[in-house]
Amino acid sequence: MDQLLQRLEKLEEFTGLPALVLDLMGLISEPGTIVQDLINRLELDESLAAYLLKQCNSAAYSIREEIRSLPRAVTLLGFSRLKMIFSDYMMRNLYRLGQTSSEQIDLWKHATAVAVINRALAPKMKIAEDEAYLAGLLHDIGRLALYYLDPTRYFHFRQVWLEEKPNDTTRLERKLFGHSHDQIGHILLERWQLSDYLKEVVRYHHNALRYQGNNKTVTLTALSNAIVHNLYDDHSLFLDDLLEYCGLSLSDINALLPSAGKLIESAWVLAG
Ligand SMILES: [Fe+2]
Ligand SMILES: [Fe+2]
């Protein structure tokens, strides 16, 4: 095993995901889950409970009454939206929001924007919104790992990327780090024992047109990733092939952009 992968194994931030969050996500996915079980477990983590109530009362979930209790929050949100809030919470921990560099904030903002666009487009492709959302949040997790492994080299990578705007960023990463973020991300998701649909998204989101499987979230995430780069990074990526693979049109995208844009901006405000 080469040095980079050895260091990845020891990277503190990635030795495990918050156990409680994984436990809650698993509980929600089981058929016949009892709401009280979920609340009992939520009460074990004050900061997650507080985060849940804050999110529930934010514009993102458009619930009209003020929510002050966990049972009311769980009932009104429903399991799908709860999963998205747990996913956000997990990502904020991984990105160490609150004590972060601008690189980490940029990566988190990008992941959040891709997650929001994924969620907005998911119903058109008959994909579960919470799955699409989590896939968007995690798709570039390997890039965060590259940053934690070697911040100086990452900064250099970022400079070259901004100057050259290469179509294939993974080639540049392989040249500078020896591995690309899709490979590293896939290794991390294997270690965390996350589902195959997420692993495939992370592994193939830069090769979606060559992906042979039937996981539609792969092409959806590749499309959302390209849309976000075009919108926010002044980086023109060609959308036509991905749109065709997803069975979507440019007018589908233009129709959702105003509302998705507002959700993205309000999520970014939280990052400070
Ligand atoms: Fe990526
Ligand atoms: Fe990305």
Look-up: residue for tokens 């560099």? 101
Q: What are phi and psi of 139, to 5 degrees?
A: -60, -35
**Tokens representing 2?**
């080469």
Within 10 angstroms of residue 152's Cβ, the number of other Cβ atoms is 7
| Nearest ligand to residue 182 Cα | 1
The confidence score (pLDDT) of residue 25 equals 80
Task: Tell me how far the alpha carbon of residue 128 lies from the centroid of ligand 1, in angstroms.
Answer: 21
CA 70 vs. chain centroid, Å, equals 25
What is the count of structural domains for the chain? 1
What's the longest Cα–Cα distance across the chain? 54
What is the mean predicted confidence (pLDDT) over 252-257? 93
Closest CA relative to residue 13, chosen from 131, 95, 116: 95
20 pLDDT higher than 80: no
Q: Ligand 2 center to residue 110 CA distance, Å?
A: 7
Q: What is the pTM of this model?
A: 0.86
Q: Given 3-state DSSP classes, what are the helix, strand and coil percentages for the chain, each rounded to the nearest 5?
A: 75, 0, 25
Cα separation of the two ends of the chain = 38
Ligand nearest to the CA of 227: 2
For ligand 2, the distance from its centroid to the CA atom of residue 210, given in whole angstroms, is 17
Question: Token pair 């590293």 is at which residue?
Answer: 184
Higher pLDDT, 104 or 175: 175
pLDDT confidence tier of residue 156, bands split at 50, 70 and 90: very high
Question: How many CB atoms lie under 10 A from the CB of residue 212?
Answer: 5
What does the pLDDT read at residue 1? 61
**Ligand positioned closest to the Cα atom of 118:** 2
Note the pLDDT tens digit of each residue in 197-224: 999 999 999 999 889 999 999 999 999 9
pLDDT band at 187 (very low <50, low <70, confident <90, very high): very high
Distance, CA of 176 to CA of 162 (rounded, Å): 15
Give 51-55's long-range contacts (Cβ < 8 A, gap of 24+): 51/85, 51/88, 51/89, 51/92, 52/82, 52/85, 52/89, 55/85, 55/88
CA 77 to chain CA mean position, Å: 20
pLDDT of 100 over the 80 cut: no
* pLDDT reading at 266 higher than 70: yes
| Residue 140 Cα to ligand 2 middle (Å) | 5
Residue 160, domain CATH = 1.10.3210.10
Domain that holds residue 57: 3-271
Distance 10 CA to ligand 2 centre (A): 24
Task: Give the pLDDT confidence score for residue 98 in this predicted structure.
Answer: 65
79-88, 91-100, 191-200: the lowest-pLDDT one? 91-100
In terms of Cβ atoms closer than 10 Å to its own Cβ (0-12, 13-18, 19+), residue 103 is middle
Ligand nearest to the CA of 204: 1
